[in-house]
């Protein structure tokens, strides 16, 4: 399959932005966007996990679930797809966590529960299943994973900037906290809708 | 006041006001600024009414009134005094929103837009100054997404309608006509080029300039918008960098695309004169609350607006990208402000 | 049958590889941590009030584990919580006594004269920097609520422009003491129920000009109370909170002293009067509106 | 930086700042200085300098003569205090201070004879006197910065040895609206100002002397220029722009040098003194007169006859209002100092201090009330700030008590000049926010 890489990247970052167009990965998007620096850290972690996870799951999809042959016995393991993906993603997240704890304890602390939650983050899983769904090659899938991660990081970055500003605003009490965050996210997603149709 | 023996009146000092310095102020206020911007928008509004007739005046008045009413109702519900209404910011939002609507917008869309702008765009964030997005744009984009039919039903100007060859059924704005070609995937570029050429004749440009073309209420007349916008720039009420860089970016970007691929898009001047570019560049991107505070921040902001506008116009599925681009860049303002923070006078870089 | 076997085999192999990688990584990037710190953090109240002098509970937990601070340095924890921490670490709990904050000013909007019109930031610290704020009394509470906003436990209420501490909510962390620009808030033993709600060192008549409930320095309370229950500095009389042999003054002293302005009273009574004043003020404004 | 090095081109201005439309100087700029008569009572605040308050050496009932010591310096950053006239100390106690709080003060009941003390300091010949001698004289005369800061002058004249000073700058900008005291001083007593400058230059061993005067005082510039050559002083006309008289901005305008962030003028090789301070130094050296009187502008539209007066330190403001013909309407604001940086007072009983360059009364119609409504982010404060800070966003941080972030955003560099709040269309009390943040951050730093 021939892939237009420009379309793939712009599509992944802007047009089909995971958070603001596909509405996947909302949990960490709302959870770790209170401060810009933690948002950056989380964005980096997600880019990393998504890239590696997309690569690994594409490999598994291509060489294990669709065409495994052991001792001459072939089997269609399509039903195992989700289980295997989760297994791989969970392991990856675990490794990221260990590394972060070692090299950036403050970030590790700031990300808190959201870091292990990347495991069950639908954005990562979504990237893997989208890739599998349209049978992308391993290389485009990795690229797609990476730029989807970049799109996620971009949304997180913009959103954390907005939230840092909102924190200084006199928001009416009923709208404080998550309410205003969701309203802002909604308006942001409207702005991203303008990119629809580019590719 | 008491009087002593020399008949000199001495102050009692009982009603002295205590406040921090400074004790004198520039003769400026939020209300005055808002009123001046409203006045600067009046030529554009007048042009809209002139070309589209009385229904346009109805849309303007109704939107304006519903914005003010929305703000008043909000204050009433929040049990707050109505005095902030006096700053005229709701009226300005209403006027800008009205100028962004088609001349024949149904009445209920106007009212809905007014409430969306004031409630969702502004008051939930804490009122004037706290809203990260331009309230009028929030309402306009929300309406465009939710009610595409109502927001894209264009009416011809009175002069166009009087033309004998006029066909109402296929009426579209100049940008709309250009955009139709994006979806028709004809490989013959020449056909596109012909239509673009038709849209970019001297006659057509004259019509765009004075405002004899379909489109949103306020964006028809380049002349009226330029009068208001330049007046604001001269009064230093808007940062001149924003409209200038915005318009220049759109000009250069679309010009470059047209130069290398004439079949992709009409020439630069067409892009500058059609759609809501001037209205957006002079009156919406420059909204104080939602634009960056520093000079360089404004330049980056306006550059981003220009690029995104062109990208949406040339490649996107929407014919017009000004509203989306400004809304998108509004979201980036906190980051831009952070990036362009000023260095204090005598700043010394700390040695690492 | 084959499918199941192969599925199990594939899962097993992938799990094994992942497990190995994680195992190696966690060995490679191991971070030494003291599990006791987490234990103590779990036992602390987690209010991060800073009353202990450390930046938050986690910091305090570290210092407790390191032996720099005894667990009872946390002013918020109850005696049981502290002994639980001490027990978990196997150390002495240290003895502590509960303190609460009290605002030693009784001049609310009705009682203390507002001399000038203040126009600016509604905050005591800011107001104090503008010509000493709006109150005529240079030693009185502004009532703009800086202390109430700084209190991590919401124990301070502003009633009719006067800050009042609810002793049953207060944990004695002392955040407000540092906040008050007039230094009117004191940490006192929780048993202390009677206070002199005035901190002005001025002479009686001068205070009388600006406030209807000042301590006039008549010393009736000093005579009524037992030896050492009150201290006198110049004109200013205050309750002696460093309890001597006679203990803190009780309600009997209030009754016996018959304070002419009523600035000597119990906390409960103080709250009660302030609420009454507030109700009255509200009624007045309503009447005014009519 | 040697003195003979060419000085870079002078900008005569600085980036930022504002141009107040109504400067109010016309009320008093043509009014010659009038010496105030002797009043019957003076209230002399004990602490009139930045640093350690001096130690009281008199007690109630003591009879003092004009120029007698009331309090002696209690440290290096401290200056003595002298009796403004002869009389009896009737009380020592609290008096309304310039910051609105009660401060300790000496109440002096004048005996009407106004006799000089027998221990009056002997005149010095500044051309031959040792620098150390001059510095001691400046301290003994109780001289502090008379432009508003009240920083002991002798401390500025004694820089640490590692700071090389090559320029003395006299601040005659008087950028504060309404005030004309310095203007009149330069016009009527240019010789004193120039001698004072020369004395300070000698004390510092510096030959480069500038006087910066805003161009809206052409008569003063001419007058100074006539005599300046004799003392080796260069008079420079500056652009009219507020706050031109701020030390850092003045140094930049005159020399093109920037004082590094958090630094002092001496880090740029300069010492800046007010012209009134220079005149006081001249008096102290040439005639041995301590700082007991100063020229103060008493102005404001509510006054019947505003003017410039030579007043004794400790004169209650109400006496000056009387001197200025009383009021024609009830003033709603009393300000000690100029309208931009002066302090609002709560009582007319507040006495004149060494740094009171003006007494300003404002009528109700001239006062714009502060409003804590939201910041419009219009950026007018950014354009006005001479220190290139972002007062609007800073005030939002401070409102939410995020002092750490405010400190990161350089709030400590704020001059409190008031340009931001002057320009703010939303009338936010920006300067008050900055003051609070600075106080909080200093408090935390102490911990």
- The pLDDT tens digits for D156-182 are 999 888 888 999 999 999 999 999 999
Q: Is the pLDDT of residue B186 over 60?
A: no
Place of tokens 């500044």: D126
Q: Is the pLDDT of residue B298 over 90?
A: yes
- Residues in chain D closer than 8 A to B288 (CB atoms): 376-379
pLDDT band at B181 (very low <50, low <70, confident <90, very high): low
State whether residue B334 sits within 8 Å of chain A by CB.
Answer: yes
Residues C81 and C103 in one domain: no
State whether residue D432 sits within 8 Å of chain C by CB.
Answer: yes
pTM: 0.87
**Chains in contact with C via at least 3 Cβ–Cβ pairs below 8 Å:** A, B, D
Could you give the CA distance from residue C41 to residue C152 in angstroms, rounded to a whole number?
18
Domain stops at, among C24, C55, C89: C89
CB of B250 closer than 8 Å to CB of B270 = no
The mean pLDDT value for B298-320 works out to 92
The mean pLDDT value for B113-118 works out to 95
Q: Is the pLDDT of residue B351 over 50?
A: no
- Residues in chain C closer than 8 A to B17 (CB atoms): 116-119
**Chains in contact with A via at least 3 Cβ–Cβ pairs below 8 Å:** B, C, D
What are the pLDDT digits (tens) for D394-417? 999 998 888 989 998 899 999 999
Q: Cβ separation of B132 and A197 shorter than 8 Å? A: no
Tokens of B24: 């004198």
Residues C188 and C270 in one domain: yes
Tokens of C60: 């305090």
Phi (first) and psi of residue B20, to 5 degrees: -75, 160
The minimum CA-CA distance between B215 and chain D, rounded to whole Å, is: 31
| pLDDT, position A32 | 83
Pick D332's closest partner by Cβ from B15, B27, B290: B15
Q: Is residue C9 part of a domain?
A: no
CATH number, position C116: 3.30.70.20
The torsion region of residue A25 among left (phi > 0), alpha (psi -120 to 50) and beta comes to: left
Locate the chain D residue with the closest alpha carbon to C131. D100
CB pairs under 8 A between B and D: 198
Q: Cβ separation of D344 and B239 shorter than 8 Å? A: no
3-class DSSP assignment, residue B75: helix
**Surface of A (16-75) touching D: CB under 8 A:** none
Q: Over pLDDT 90: what percentage of chain C?
A: 2
Q: Which contacts qualify for C220-224: CB closer than 8 Å, 24 or more apart?
A: C220/C257, C220/C258, C220/C259, C220/C260, C221/C196, C221/C249, C221/C253, C221/C254, C221/C257, C221/C259, C221/C264, C223/C257, C224/C253, C224/C256, C224/C257, C224/C258
CB of D215 closer than 8 Å to CB of D63 = no
Domain stops at, among C66, C89, C112: C89
Q: Cβ separation of C120 and D101 shorter than 8 Å? A: no
The mean pLDDT value for D42-64 works out to 90
Pick C132's closest partner by Cβ from D101, D436, D440: D101
| pLDDT, position C231 | 84
Place of tokens 């700084």: C150
pLDDT band at D3 (very low <50, low <70, confident <90, very high): very low
Q: Give the residue with greater pLDDT, D323 vs C5.
A: D323
Residues C115 and C253 in one domain: yes
Burial class (CB in 10 A: 0-12, 13-18, 19+), D328: middle
What are the pLDDT digits (tens) for C219-247? 888 888 877 788 888 778 888 887 666 77
Q: Give the residue with greater pLDDT, B246 vs B12.
A: B246
Q: Is residue C20 part of a domain?
A: no
State whether residue C8 sits within 8 Å of chain A by CB.
Answer: no
Residues C77 and C107 in one domain: no
Residues C222 and C78 in one domain: no
CATH class of segment(s) D34-110+290-365: alpha beta
Pick C121's closest partner by Cβ from D344, D346, D372: D372
Pick A70's closest partner by Cβ from C6, C25, C29: C6
Residues C134 and C265 in one domain: yes
What are the pLDDT digits (tens) for B197-235? 777 788 888 888 888 888 888 888 899 999 999 999 999
Pick A98's closest partner by Cβ from C7, C15, C25: C25
| pLDDT, position A183 | 94
Q: Give the residue with greater pLDDT, C55 vs C218.
A: C218
State whether residue D345 sits within 8 Å of chain C by CB.
Answer: yes
Q: Give the residue with greater pLDDT, C252 vs D358.
A: D358
For chain D, the three-class secondary structure string (H helix, E strand, C coil) is CCCCCCCCCCCCCCCCCECCCCCCHHHCCCCCCEECCCCCEEEEECCCCCCCCCEECCCCCCEECECCEEEECCCCCCCCEECCCCEEEEEEEEEECCCCCEEEEEEEEECCCCCECCCCCCCCCCCCCCHHHHHHHHHHCCCECCCCCCCEHHHHCCCCCCCCCCEEEEEECCCCCCCCHHHHHHHHCHHHHHHHHHHHHHHHCCCEEEEEEECCCHHHHHHHHHHHHHHCEEEEEECCCECCCCHHHHHHHHHCCCCCCCCCHHHHCEEEEEHHHHHHHHHHHHHCCCCCEEEEEEECCCECCCEEEEEECCCEHHHHHHHCCCECCCCCEEEECCCCCCEECCCCCCECCCCCCEEEEECHHHCCCCCCCCCCCCCHHHHHCCCCCCHHHHHHHHHCCCHHHHHHCCHHHCCCCCHHHHHCCCCCCHHHHHHHHHHHHHHHHHC
The minimum CA-CA distance between C122 and chain B, rounded to whole Å, is: 11
Query: Which range, of C281-285, D294-298, D330-334, averages the lowest pLDDT?
Result: C281-285
The mean pLDDT value for C46-58 works out to 74
Q: Is the pLDDT of residue D233 over 80?
A: yes
Q: Cβ separation of D436 and C121 shorter than 8 Å? A: yes
CATH of domain D123-287: 3.40.50.11540
Q: Cβ separation of A190 and B142 shorter than 8 Å? A: yes
Q: Cβ separation of B332 and A161 shorter than 8 Å? A: yes
Q: Is residue C261 part of a domain?
A: yes
Q: Is the pLDDT of residue B2 over 50?
A: no
Q: Is the pLDDT of residue B191 over 60?
A: no
State whether residue D331 sits within 8 Å of chain B by CB.
Answer: yes
Residue whose C-alpha is closest to residue D192's, from D118, D200, D338: D200
| pLDDT, position D290 | 93
| pLDDT, position B167 | 64
The torsion region of residue D87 among left (phi > 0), alpha (psi -120 to 50) and beta comes to: left
| pLDDT, position B90 | 93
Q: Give the residue with greater pLDDT, C123 vs D10.
A: C123
- Residues in chain C closer than 8 A to B20 (CB atoms): 120-121, 126, 129-130
Q: Is the pLDDT of residue B159 over 90?
A: no
Q: Is the pLDDT of residue B4 over 90?
A: no
Q: How many residues does chain D have?
A: 447
| pLDDT, position D36 | 92
- With a CB cutoff of 8 Å and minimum separation 6, the contacts of C31 are A101, A102, A105
State whether residue C133 sits within 8 Å of chain D by CB.
Answer: yes
Residues C84 and C105 in one domain: no
Residues C258 and C120 in one domain: yes
Q: Is residue C140 part of a domain?
A: yes
CB pairs under 8 A between B and C: 26
Please list the residue range(s) of chain D that carry CATH number 3.40.50.11540: 123-287
| pLDDT, position D1 | 38
Domain that holds residue C64: 36-89
The CA distances from residue D392 to A34, D9, D375, D421, D438, in Å, are 21, 33, 6, 9, 15
Q: Give the residue with greater pLDDT, B95 vs B86.
A: B95
What are the pLDDT digits (tens) for C70-115? 777 777 777 778 778 877 777 766 556 678 899 998 888 777 777 6
The minimum CA-CA distance between C133 and chain A, rounded to whole Å, is: 25
pLDDT band at B123 (very low <50, low <70, confident <90, very high): very high
Pick D370's closest partner by Cβ from C119, C123, C132: C119
Specify which of B6-10, B121-125, C258-262 reaches the highest per-range mean pLDDT.
B121-125
Q: Over pLDDT 90: what percentage of chain B?
A: 50
Q: Is the pLDDT of residue D337 over 70?
A: yes
Residues C67 and C206 in one domain: no
What are the pLDDT digits (tens) for D355-387? 899 999 999 888 888 887 788 888 889 989 999
Residues C159 and C56 in one domain: no
Ranges of chain A with pLDDT below 70: 1-3, 71-72, 120, 199
| pLDDT, position B182 | 64
Q: Is residue C6 part of a domain?
A: no
Q: Is the pLDDT of residue C175 over 90?
A: no
pLDDT band at D6 (very low <50, low <70, confident <90, very high): very low
Indicate the number of domains in chain C. 2
> What average pLDDT does chain C have?
81
Pick B335's closest partner by Cβ from A158, A193, A196: A158
Q: Is residue C163 part of a domain?
A: yes
Q: What is the CA radius of gyration of chain A?
A: 18
Domain stops at, among C89, C121, C156: C89
State whether residue C206 sits within 8 Å of chain D by CB.
Answer: no
């Amino acid at each position: 399959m021939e892939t237009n890489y420009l379309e793939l990247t712009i599509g992944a970052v802007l047009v089909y932005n995971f958070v603001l167009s596909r509405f996947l990965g909302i949990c960490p998007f709302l959870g770790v966007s209170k401060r810009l620096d933690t948002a950056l850290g989380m964005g980096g972690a997600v880019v990393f996990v998504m890239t590696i996870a997309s690569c690994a799951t594409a490999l598994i999809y291509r060489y294990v679930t669709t065409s495994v042959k052991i001792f001459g016995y072939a089997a269609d393991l399509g039903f195992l797809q989700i289980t295997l993906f989760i297994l791989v993603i969970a392991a990856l997240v675990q490794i990221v966590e260990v590394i972060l704890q070692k090299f950036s304890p403050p970030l590790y602390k700031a990300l808190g529960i959201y870091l292990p939650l990347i495991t069950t983050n639908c954005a990562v899983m979504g990237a893997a299943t989208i890739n599998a769904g349209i049978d992308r090659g391993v290389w485009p899938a990795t690229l797609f994973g990476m730029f989807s991660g970049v799109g996620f990081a971009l949304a997180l970055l913009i959103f954390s900037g907005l939230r840092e500003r909102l924190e200084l605003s006199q928001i009416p009490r009923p709208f404080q906290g998550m309410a205003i965050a969701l309203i802002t996210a909604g308006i942001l997603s409207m702005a991203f809708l303008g990119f629809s149709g580019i590719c | 006041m008491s009087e002593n023996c020399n008949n000199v009146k001495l102050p009692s000092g009982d009603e002295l006001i205590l406040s921090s310095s400074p004790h004198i102020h520039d003769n400026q206020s939020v209300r005055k600024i808002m009123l001046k911007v409203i006045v600067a928008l009046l030529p554009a509004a007048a042009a809209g009414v002139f070309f589209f007739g009385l229904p346009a005046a109805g849309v303007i008045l109704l939107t304006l009134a519903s914005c003010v009413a929305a703000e008043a109702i909000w204050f009433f519900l929040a049990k707050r005094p109505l005095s902030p209404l006096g700053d005229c910011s709701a009226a300005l939002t209403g006027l800008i929103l009205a100028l962004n609507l088609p001349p024949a917008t149904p009445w209920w869309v106007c009212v809905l837009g007014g409430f969306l702008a004031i409630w969702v765009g502004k008051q939930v964030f804490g009122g004037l100054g706290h809203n990260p997005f331009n309230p009028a744009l929030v309402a306009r984009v929300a309406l465009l997404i939710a009610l595409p039919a109502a927001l894209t039903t264009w009416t011809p100007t009175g002069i166009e309608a009087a033309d004998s060859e006029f066909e109402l059924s296929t009426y579209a704005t100049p940008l709309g006509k250009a955009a139709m070609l994006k979806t028709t995937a004809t490989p013959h570029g020449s056909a596109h080029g012909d239509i673009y050429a038709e849209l970019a004749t001297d006659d057509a440009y004259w019509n765009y300039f004075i405002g004899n073309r379909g489109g949103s209420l306020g964006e028809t007349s380049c002349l009226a918008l330029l009068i208001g916008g330049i007046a604001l720039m001269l009064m230093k009420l808007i940062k001149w960098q924003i409209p200038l860089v915005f318009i220049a970016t759109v000009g250069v970007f679309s010009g470059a695309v047209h130069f290398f691929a004439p079949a992709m898009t009409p020439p630069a001047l067409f892009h500058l004169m059609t759609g809501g570019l001037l209205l957006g560049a002079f009156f919406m991107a420059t909204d104080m609350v939602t634009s960056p505070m520093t000079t360089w921040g404004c330049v980056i902001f306006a550059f981003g607006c220009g690029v995104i506008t062109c990208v949406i116009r040339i490649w996107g599925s929407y014919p017009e990208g000004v509203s989306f681009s400004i809304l998108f860049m509004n979201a980036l303002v906190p980051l831009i402000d952070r990036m362009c923070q000023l260095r204090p006078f005598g700043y010394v870089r700390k040695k690492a | 049958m084959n499918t199941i076997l192969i599925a199990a085999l594939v899962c097993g192999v992938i799990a094994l590889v992942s497990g190995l990688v994680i195992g190696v990584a966690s060995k490679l990037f191991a971070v030494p941590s003291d599990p006791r710190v987490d234990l103590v953090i779990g036992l602390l109240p987690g209010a991060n009030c800073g009353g202990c002098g450390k930046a938050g509970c986690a910091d305090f937990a570290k210092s407790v584990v390191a032996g720099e601070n005894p667990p009872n340095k946390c002013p918020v924890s109850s005696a049981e919580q502290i002994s639980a921490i001490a027990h978990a670490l196997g150390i002495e709990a240290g003895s502590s006594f509960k303190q609460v904050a009290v605002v030693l000013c009784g001049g609310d909007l009705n009682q203390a004269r507002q001399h000038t019109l203040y126009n600016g930031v509604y905050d005591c610290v800011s107001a104090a920097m503008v010509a000493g704020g709006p109150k005529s009394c240079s030693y009185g509470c502004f009532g703009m609520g800086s202390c109430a906003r700084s209190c991590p436990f919401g124990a301070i209420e502003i009633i009719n422009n006067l800050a009042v501490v609810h002793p049953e909510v207060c944990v004695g962390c002392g955040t407000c003491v540092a906040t008050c620009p007039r230094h009117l808030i004191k940490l006192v033993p929780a048993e202390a129920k009677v206070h002199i709600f005035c901190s002005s060192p001025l002479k009686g008549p001068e205070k009388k000009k600006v406030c209807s409930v000042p301590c006039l320095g008549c010393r009736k309370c000093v005579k009524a109370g037992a030896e050492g229950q009150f201290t006198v500095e110049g004109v200013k009389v205050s309750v002696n909170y460093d309890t001597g042999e006679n203990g803190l003054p009780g309600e009997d002293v209030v009754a016996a002293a018959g304070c002419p302005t009523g600035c000597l009273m119990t906390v409960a009574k103080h709250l009660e009067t302030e609420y009454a004043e507030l109700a009255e003020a509200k009624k007045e404004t309503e009447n005014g509106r009519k | 930086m040697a003195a003979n090095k060419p000085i870079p081109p002078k900008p005569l201005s600085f980036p930022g700042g504002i141009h107040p439309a109504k400067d109010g100087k016309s009320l008093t700029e043509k009014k010659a200085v009038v010496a105030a008569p002797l009043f019957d009572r003076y209230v002399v605040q004990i602490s009139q300098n930045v640093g350690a308050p001096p130690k009281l050496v008199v007690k109630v009932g003591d009879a003092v003569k004009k120029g007698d010591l009331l309090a002696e310096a209690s440290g290096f950053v401290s200056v003595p205090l002298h009796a403004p006239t002869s009389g009896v100390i009737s009380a020592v106690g609290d008096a309304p201070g310039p910051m609105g709080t009660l401060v300790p003060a000496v109440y002096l009941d004048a005996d009407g004879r106004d006799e000089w003390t027998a221990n009056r300091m002997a005149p010095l010949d500044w051309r031959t006197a040792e620098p150390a001698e001059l510095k001691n004289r400046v301290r003994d005369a109780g001289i502090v910065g008379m432009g508003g800061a009240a920083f002991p002058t002798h401390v500025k004249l004694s820089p640490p040895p590692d700071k090389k000073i090559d320029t003395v700058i006299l601040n005659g900008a008087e950028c504060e609206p309404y005030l004309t005291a310095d203007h009149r001083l330069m016009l009527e007593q240019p010789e004193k100002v120039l001698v004072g400058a020369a004395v300070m230059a000698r004390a510092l061993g510096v030959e480069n002397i500038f006087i910066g005067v805003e161009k809206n005082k052409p008569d003063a510039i001419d007058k100074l220029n006539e005599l300046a050559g004799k003392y080796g002083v260069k008079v420079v006309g500056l652009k009219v722009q507020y706050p031109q008289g701020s030390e850092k901005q003045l140094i930049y305008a005159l020399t093109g040098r920037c004082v590094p962030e958090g630094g002092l003028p001496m880090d740029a090789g300069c010492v800046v003194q007010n012209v009134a301070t220079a005149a006081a130094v001249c008096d102290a050296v040439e005639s041995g007169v301590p700082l007991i009187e100063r020229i103060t502008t008493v102005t404001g539209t509510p006054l019947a006859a505003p003017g410039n007066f030579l007043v004794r330190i400790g004169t209650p403001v109400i006496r000056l209002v009387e001197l200025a013909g009383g009021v024609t309407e009830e003033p709603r604001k009393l300000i000690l100092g100029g309208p931009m940086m002066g302090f609002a007072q709560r009582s007319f009983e507040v006495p004149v201090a060494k740094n009171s360059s003006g007494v300003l009364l404002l009528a109700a119609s001239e006062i714009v009330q502060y409003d804590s409504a939201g910041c419009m982010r219009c950026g007018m404060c950014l354009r006005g700030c001479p220190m290139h800070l972002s007062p609007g966003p800073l005030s939002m941080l401070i409102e939410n008590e995020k002092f750490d972030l405010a400190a990161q955003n350089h709030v400590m560099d704020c001059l409190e000049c008031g340009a931001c709040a002057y320009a703010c269309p939303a009338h936010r009390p920006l300067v008050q926010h900055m003051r609070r943040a600075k106080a909080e951050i200093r408090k935390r730093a102490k911990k």
